[in-house]
Amino acid sequence: MVELLPIGQFSRAVLISPKTLRDYHEAGLLTPAVVDPRTGYRGYRPTQIGEAAVIRELRALDVPLAEIAQVLAARDPDVTRAVLAAHRDRMREQAERVARIADTLDGLLADPGSVTRLAVVERDRAAMPVIAMSASVLESEFAPFLDLAYPRLYGFLAARSVPPAGPAGALYPGDQFSDEPVEVTAFVPVDAPLDGDGEVESRVLPAGRVAVVTFTGPYDELTAAYRAVGTWLAGKHLTTDGPLTETYLVGPDSGLPESDYRTEIAWPVREGEAA
Amino acid sequence: MVELLPIGQFSRAVLISPKTLRDYHEAGLLTPAVVDPRTGYRGYRPTQIGEAAVIRELRALDVPLAEIAQVLAARDPDVTRAVLAAHRDRMREQAERVARIADTLDGLLADPGSVTRLAVVERDRAAMPVIAMSASVLESEFAPFLDLAYPRLYGFLAARSVPPAGPAGALYPGDQFSDEPVEVTAFVPVDAPLDGDGEVESRVLPAGRVAVVTFTGPYDELTAAYRAVGTWLAGKHLTTDGPLTETYLVGPDSGLPESDYRTEIAWPVREGEAA
DNA sequence: TTGCTCCTCACGTCACGTGAGGTGGC
DNA sequence: TTGCTCCTCACGTCACGTGAGGTGGC
């Protein structure tokens, strides 16, 4: 007969609380060697201390229980390596994200009022599936093109009983201001990619880092917002990367006066010196 | 009469989900201008969009709702500055912590088996209130001193009906190996600081960074564990900082054979080159 | 018999997302 | 009348901590 440790003693030996040990039992992570069928009392063998210690080490490194379970089930160094590598990558990403948040807060502290004004913030944007219509048009034709495109896009969704996943927007080339026609895309976000037809195409706007500013006011004053982003970009020595997005948070369909319109401008950026 | 936005339209204007807006309402963070007493329908004024936008910006920076509420209630740049500064400091700490976890995982990846062997890990230790007895004793007198101290410490707790908060341990000077008597402290952790008496003193072991190794086996083989920490410390170019802690996770009172004893050694470390 | 240990719920954490089931408004 | 919007619960998330209320073992 080997010795059996009751949960309290095992708990002190491995520095894991009894409650947590019970949870590990229920989760199948660490099953006691013996469970008294009458009283429910758990009994652990001294040899189980090693396994508990592994769990504790990995938890101290914030490895999720589900992944610890994988490591323990496989008992294979390759699996362990893969799981830990994935976890490490996530930790590194998180560290970078949090450090960037701290930097942004530093910026806000330099001017706390900026939260309430025309503030440019950097943000990580998720990939977004959309339906879209594109055309090559002159700047003076932007508005007529959009007026034509949106009814078609919303009609496309209505015909398929798919609701829009957010407010409509448009893509513009951010790096050329010419008299030539440029590629403009009107889009409406959807929850999941849809098949297009001859006119409406399905796209996924890429995830990435963007500089964002939200402007309240009529469309003919949007240039103030562009000036703000431009100044900000110059100050940060960031280089832009791809077409910029305008999102029409409050637009004509709101029924509100033009002075209440809200437009978000999102400009993809990359680390590094401006060109 | 100003225009009122129903929750869905307001939601699209500020890019906050209706559910979240309802939660903000219930939390008192953002109360709709009008709530229909019969239907419960919420109505928002366009002027509330600005406030909602501030909330969204701060949430995007992971500022907790409770702190956003403080900022909004005070409407005072000094308060805003203080709250954001505190949040930024926490974010920086978290970034450092996560980055260190990633580094530790890198170390484990270099040798995945080390999780299950005599592995040294770095850890942040919380401050720990204890009751303690100290004496200046020769190395050969360590064991007799502890045998004398623990019954008194446990008796002290029993007399006050205070349960120990964890397994007992001892402090040893980590930086001197001499024939002279050295200061040794036996301790038992408690949940909250207690008043001592003439013999038993109340202390709080300081929080800080420690290198930790857990050894399984009899006390006369503990030197293997010390060798492991020593080698590890040398490899990391860390300098030690204060007395080291032995914690007796499984000891004589367990009733288990000596080969099952488990002892944790925690050595305070500081960044920087070893002396 | 008295403490101490152990048991099983149940609830709170934080900021939401995702239904279910039902009603209101054009 | 038909959709669409809005309403209020209720539950899940992740890994625990902290009781409440009751039983087992020396």
| Least Cα separation, residue A257 to chain B (angstroms) | 9
A-B contacts at Cβ under 8 angstroms: 150
Q: Please give the average per-residue pLDDT across B175-192, as a whole number.
A: 80
Q: Alpha-carbon torsion A190, A195, A200, A202, what sign?
A: positive
Nucleotides of strand D within 7 Å of the protein's CB atoms: 4-10, 14-19, 23-25
Q: How far apart are CA B6 and CA A97, in angstroms?
A: 35
CB contact under 8 A, A167 and B249: no
Instruction: With CB atoms and an 8 Å threshold, state whether A95 touches B80.
Output: no
B39-CA/C20-C1' distance, Å: 19
Which of B1, B3, B11, B61 is best to mutate for the A interface (most A CBs within 10 A)?
A: B61
Q: CA torsion angle for A237, A240, A241, A244 (degrees, to 10)?
A: 150
What is the pLDDT at residue A118? 66
Q: Give the three-state DSSP class for A160.
A: coil
Q: What is the pLDDT of residues A110-121, one digit of tens each?
A: 766 666 666 778
Task: Give me the residue from A81, A123, A256 closest to B60, CB to CB.
Answer: A123
Nucleotides of C under 7 A from a protein CB: 4-8, 10, 14-19, 23-25
pLDDT, mean over chain A: 85
In terms of CA atoms, which chain B residue is nearest residue A254?
B9
Contact yes or no for B187/B103 (Cβ under 8 A): no
- In the numeric block, which tokens belong to residue B232? 């590890």
CB-based contact B225:B213 (threshold 8 Å):
yes
- Chain B contacts in chain A segment 182-211 (CB below 8 A): none
Residue B100 contacts by C-beta under 8 Å, 6 or more apart in sequence?
Answer: B122
Amino acid identity at B209: R
CA of B265 to C1' of D16 (A): 26
Cα distances (Å, whole numbers) of residue B264 to A58, A189, B116, B212:
17, 56, 15, 7
Count of CB atoms situated within 10 Å of the CB of A33: 14
Q: What's A200-246 look like in SS3? A: CEEEEECCEEEEEEEEECCHHHHHHHHHHHHHHHHHHCCEECCCEEE
> How long is the CA A66 to C1' D13 vector, in angstroms?
14
Supply the pLDDT for residue B164: 86
- Range with lowest mean pLDDT among A101-115, A194-208, A210-224, B51-65: A101-115
Using an 8 Å Cβ cutoff, are A222 and A213 in contact?
Answer: no
pLDDT tens-digit series, residues B107-153: 777 766 666 666 778 888 888 889 999 999 887 788 889 989 998 99
What is the predicted pLDDT for the residue at B275?
36
pLDDT number for residue A117:
63
Could you read off the pLDDT of A9-61 as tens digits, one per residue? 999 889 899 999 999 999 999 999 999 999 999 999 988 988 898 898 889 88
Note the CA–C1' distance, A6 to D5, in angstroms. 58
Which three-class secondary structure state does DSSP give residue B76? coil
DSSP state of A126: P
Question: Which one has a higher pLDDT value, A124 or A87?
Answer: A87
A166 to chain B, any CB pair closer than 8 A? The answer is yes
pLDDT tens string B191-234: 888 888 888 999 999 888 888 888 888 887 777 778 777 777 77
Q: Rounded to whole angstroms, how far apart are CA atoms A2 and B177?
A: 39
A106 falls in which pLDDT band (50, 70, 90)? Answer: confident
DSSP alpha helices (H): ranges in A1-76? 7-14, 18-26, 48-60, 65-74
- C-alpha to C-alpha distance for B267 and B240, rounded to whole angstroms: 7
Rounded Cα–Cα distance for residues A232 and A133 (Å): 31
- CA-nearest residue to B257 within chain A is A3
In the prediction, which pLDDT does A177 show?
57
* CB-nearest partner of B84 from A105, A113, A119: A105
Neighbours of B231 (CB within 10 A): 11
Percent of chain B with pLDDT over 90: 30
